[in-house]
Structure 1
Amino acid sequence: MNKILELREKRAKAWDAAKAFLDSKRSGDGLLSAEDTAVYDKMEADVMALGKEIERLERQSAIDAELSKATSAPITNTPEKTGGAPKSIRAAAEYRADFLNILRGRAPVNNVLSTSPDTDGGYLVPEEFENRIVAGLEETNVVRSIAKVITTSAERKIPVAATHSTAQWTAENAAYTESNPTFAQKTIDAFKLTDLVKVSVELLQDSMFDLESYIALEFARAFGVAEEEAFCVGTGTGQPTGIFAESGGTVGVTAGSATAITVDNLVDLIYALKSPYRRNAVFLMKDVTVSALRKLKDVNGAYLWQPSVQAGQPDRLLGYPLYTSPYVPAAEAGSLPIAFGDFSNYWIADRMGRTVQRLNELYAGNGQVGFIAAERVDGKVILAEGIQLLKMAAGS
């Protein structure tokens, strides 16, 4: 943690130096010479590289913390009577032991494994194993960390107020004026996401190899990448509907340029969002868009982008937290490169548990064993007014 704080302070100092250099070298027309541009670009690249290293160390720290957790909690209350069933069979040590035996190709001992209700089969993963996957998803999937995540057992229909009632000033003894609020409905379904990894038989036979951790983290990485892309730009056909899809958030501001974003565009975007949503609002954009905004100043001459010097806290843009994803569209003609809003209005629905299935025969000729992981998930903007999008002008 000390190393992370040290790097954050170093990045803040590097950014201050870059701003000072930029201010000192700008000519009357606001432009830099070719030589000064090259120097500034190098300074900015150093700032971005430090940011990436901070992110890597934070991910590493989170994974280390997760993997070092105790597999059982100490008894802090009066023990229950022996012979009682655990609250969840998937949380029992016997379930985890049988699951690991299945992964390594050995026969289960306790015969307590539960199978998936899906026709594809597979064993429901132990709760601890699933928690590792979810922790990995949250670390590699920024949208999961800021959206509303629910668990459903079936398709879920969510009522949304389309219009509201209107109060009227009414004279004494006069008739009341009726209001007729209407309701729309959003449906959260489930789309299937799968991954298949192959492990050599020799590696499986090596008792020193932590198979459970490897598979959990590998599936977490793969699912996190696929999910985040869908949560950003998914079409809604066979996959979740993305925030930056045409049917996602509301276009609150259209830039006057096809490629450039101004300070006024960002201010307009902030105030296109209703005041109650701004209390928990954040920015979401691509790294290359952040790079373009680093040089912008507000009317008081302060740079819009401010690096965070506190571990675990995001950078800020105009005072609001800033998150980045590589799957957000770039700032080009007609694109939607920035979202600003309260992302609890984007719902992610996880359907039941994740499953893992072992394939013994399919890759036997290559001396390998396959493992399939599957999950069912959907994502959708439930209240569009809660997330405002910036749209670039159409190209000429």
Structure 2
Amino acid sequence: MNKILELREKRAKLWDSTKAFLDSKRGESGLLSAEDTEQYEKMEADVVNLGKEIERLERQAVLDLELSKQTSSAIKSAPNASLEEGKSKISPRAINEYKDAFWKLMRNKNSFEVHNALQVGTDSEGGVLAPDEFERTLIESLEEENIFRQIANIMNTSSGDKKIPIVASKGTASWVEEEGNIPESDDSFGLISIGAYKLVTMLKVSEELLNDSVFNLEKYIAKEFARRIGAREEEAFIIGDGVGKPTGILNATGGAQLGVSAAGSTAITADEVIDLYYSLKSPYRKNAVFIMNDSTVKAIRKLKNGNGDYLWQPSITANAPDTILNKPIRTSAYVPALSSGAKPIAFGDFSYYWIADRQGRSFQRLNELFAATGQIGFKAMQRVDGKLVLPESIKVLQMKA
């Protein structure tokens, strides 16, 4: 942790020197020479690289903490007593028997014991629902790969569409004379339906590797499936059009509201970022977050407010993100860059974006599909949907077309 704090302080000092260099080298026109631009970009790259190193060390610290936890606990009651007392509350997929059977099936289909234990977890499409413990591992990996799951509202549904009631318009109060008629002013309500779109991926593992007892199949599948599913989910949550996939926050229909229209088609100003900030109603600003592309962050690093202060500020606190106007920044490769007609910045309270995970994630071993090449296939499937239930909770900046 001391190393992380040391790097954060080093990055903050480097950023101060970078800003000072930029201010001192600007000419009367406000522009840098080619030589100074090259030097500035090198200094800025050092700031970015330090940020990435800090993120790596923070992830390592989290993993070290997790791996240092004890793997067993002392027996303080009669064997199986707690299991019998709360048997009805325990998910069948949470017991060790199911977990062992699941991974035996993934490694070898010829096990009658496996099929008996997995009866409770067979899904409607021939796959097998992942054990509760493994599903939690996968979800944690998804959150690491998918920034949206860290800031959105996540709920679990068993089946069917989820109906979410929303207030379409609110009533108002009125001034009336003594004994005057009180005007009616009712709230009007609407419904948003969240369904479940199918997201699948498939990977292949050689038979030799699969039969190697040293090979950690569980870890490999969790990491690889999380990378693939997390990337595709994040893309849909940001730019999805709602056709066979979730509706993204930047979609014209069902997405966030327009907060600011930029004057330029490839560049933004500090005033436009500030206008975007205040285009969001103050109750939503309390938990608001900026989401943008890395290239947009790079452009904002050079912008100042009316007092001459830079909008972007590096974090010097462990596990805290960098900020713009004192609000956290999250970056995603799926947010468009600064280009004509694009929406490069979203700002708002993303807890009003609801992600619905339906049932559990299921896995299926495919023995014959790749038999000719000596490989075994594994298919992962999940059903998920996402929608912004309150469009006014997120505002976007749109570039001039």
Tell me if TM exceeds 0.5.
yes
Hey, what does 1:353 align to over in structure 2? Answer: 360
> Over aligned residue pairs, what C-alpha RMSD do you find?
2.0
User: Matches of 1:218 and 1:184 in 2, distance apart?
Assistant: 40
Hey, what does 2:241 align to over in structure 1? Answer: 235
* Alignment equivalent of 2:326, drawn from 309, 313, 319: 319
Hey, what does 1:382 align to over in structure 2? Answer: 389
Report how many aligned residue pairs link the two structures. 393
Residue-by-residue CA offset, 1:307-343 (whole Å, 9 max, x unaligned): 1122211100011111111110111111111001011
User: Matches of 1:127 and 1:239 in 2, distance apart?
Assistant: 25
Q: Is residue 102–residue 108 contact of structure 1 (8 Å, CA) maintained in 2? A: no
* Alignment equivalent of 2:144, drawn from 116, 139, 142: 139
The 3 A distance-change label for structure 1 pair 9 and 81 is closer
Hey, what does 1:95 align to over in structure 2? Answer: 98
**TM value normalised by structure 2:** 0.93
Q: Is residue 348–residue 378 contact of structure 1 (8 Å, CA) maintained in 2? A: yes
Residue-by-residue CA offset, 1:124-167 (whole Å, 9 max, x unaligned): 10111000100001111111101111111221111111111111
- Out of 108-117 and 10-19, give the one that drifted further: 108-117
Shift of 1:367: 1.1
User: Matches of 1:385 and 1:82 in 2, distance apart?
Assistant: 48
- Out of 12-21 and 76-85, give the one that drifted further: 76-85
The 3 A distance-change label for structure 1 pair 94 and 21 is same
Hey, what does 1:296 align to over in structure 2? Answer: 303
Q: Is residue 98–residue 108 contact of structure 1 (8 Å, CA) maintained in 2? A: no
Shift of 1:21: 1.0
Shift of 1:108: 5.5
SS at 2:203 equivalent: strand
Shift of 1:278: 0.7
5+ long unaligned stretches in structure 1:
none
User: Matches of 1:11 and 1:108 in 2, distance apart?
Assistant: 58
**TM value normalised by structure 1:** 0.94
User: Matches of 2:13 and 2:145 in 1, distance apart?
Assistant: 27
User: Matches of 1:81 and 1:157 in 2, distance apart?
Assistant: 37
User: Matches of 1:341 and 1:245 in 2, distance apart?
Assistant: 15
SS at 2:10 equivalent: helix
5+ long unaligned stretches in structure 2:
none
Shift of 1:257: 0.8
Q: Is residue 194–residue 372 contact of structure 1 (8 Å, CA) maintained in 2? A: yes
SS at 1:162 equivalent: strand
Hey, what does 1:151 align to over in structure 2? Answer: 156
Hey, what does 1:45 align to over in structure 2? Answer: 45
Hey, what does 2:284 align to over in structure 1? Answer: 277
- Share of identical aligned residues, percent? 56
User: What amino acid sits opposite 2:102 in the alignment?
Assistant: F
Q: Is residue 132–residue 217 contact of structure 1 (8 Å, CA) maintained in 2? A: no
